[in-house]
Structure 1
Amino acid sequence: MRTRLITPARVGRVWSAAVTVGALLAGCGSGEAPAQRTATEPGNPASTQGTAQTSPKPPEASTSPASPKASNGTDLAACKDADCEVEVRPGDRLKIDARFGVDAITVKSLGGGEIRLALEGSSGGFQVEGENVSVKSACTDDRCRDEGELSLTADSPGRVNDVRLRLAEAGSTRAVLVLLPR
């Protein structure tokens, strides 16, 4: 039987390799759905208490274009009055003033130059224009709730009630969405 002694130099190499592997694994995605940002939580979704903040991953030059730029940045609260230009990601939720007949617009997905939006409202009658539109309403005890979805492309804007929607720019993970009151 042979006994191998672990020298300090060998411990250092093993420790260095373990730290490198740990750092690489920490940079990998977890496969979970993206965190939802809302108008009350603008900016970084990792800003919740108890969550370690990490620096953003640099974009991959060969697979994604430069990050889109919007006049309101990532401030989703700027859309409350239905007059904004914001950078959005899947899972982002824009809360809209009830006077427009739509309570919230949520980014469902991005891809292929298209953005898919989910709509929520309480007016009892969405009027929606766009691509791939689906709308359903349900009323219980005189309380009506609307839900819907629509897709936008750069060439095909949309509308929900008195809010015009336009896709200004689309990337693989982010897009610039423009809302304007009618």
Structure 2
Amino acid sequence: MPAPITEEQNRLDRETLLDAAERLFYERGIRAVGMDELRAASGLPLKRIYRFFATKEDLVVAMLRRRDRRWRGDLAAHVEQVADPRERVLAVFDWLAEWFAQPGFRGCAWINAFGELGASSEAVLAEVRAHKQAFHHQIATWVTATRAPVTEPVFLLAEGAVVAAAISGDPAPARHARAAVTRLLGPP
């Protein structure tokens, strides 16, 4: 009889599965990746995968939720190193430029998920909306500290830069958006 699986092993296996799902879904698309590919990439048997997530939709939602925490946390860590409120807002676009230049950048995982499943999955749609609202809140917090009433344009410039960079394969949209935000914020 095999030894019982510990809570720590469950946690590690779940993280391994989420790592594999995130990599494959982001690289190739959610619908293009089958459960057998997730099994092979994670090294976990299908039975174990389905114990963690009863459906592929559940796995997608968990992956997006975990990615959201990490993505927004990395952004905040970068931006909040900057003391000046105006420069903090501009640091958002510096961080985006670095992200856009990374090998394998394929745009926004939430926009990609929305494009694939938003019309057919309420759970995925809810997760996408939660991410966008949380990102908007981050932007609003940083912009409000500048006292410039430009939260919506700054948010839209950030979102637009992500989409433009994904489609063009060029990080330049972050620089262009940063220049526009510099003008919106006014002189230092």
TM-score normalised per structure 2: 0.29
User: Comparing both chains, which one has the higher relative contact order based on Cα–Cα distances under 8 Å and sequence gaps of 6 or more?
Assistant: 2
Structure ranking higher in helix proportion? 2
- Higher percent of residues as strand: 1
Larger radius of gyration: 1
TM-score (normalizing by structure 1):
0.30
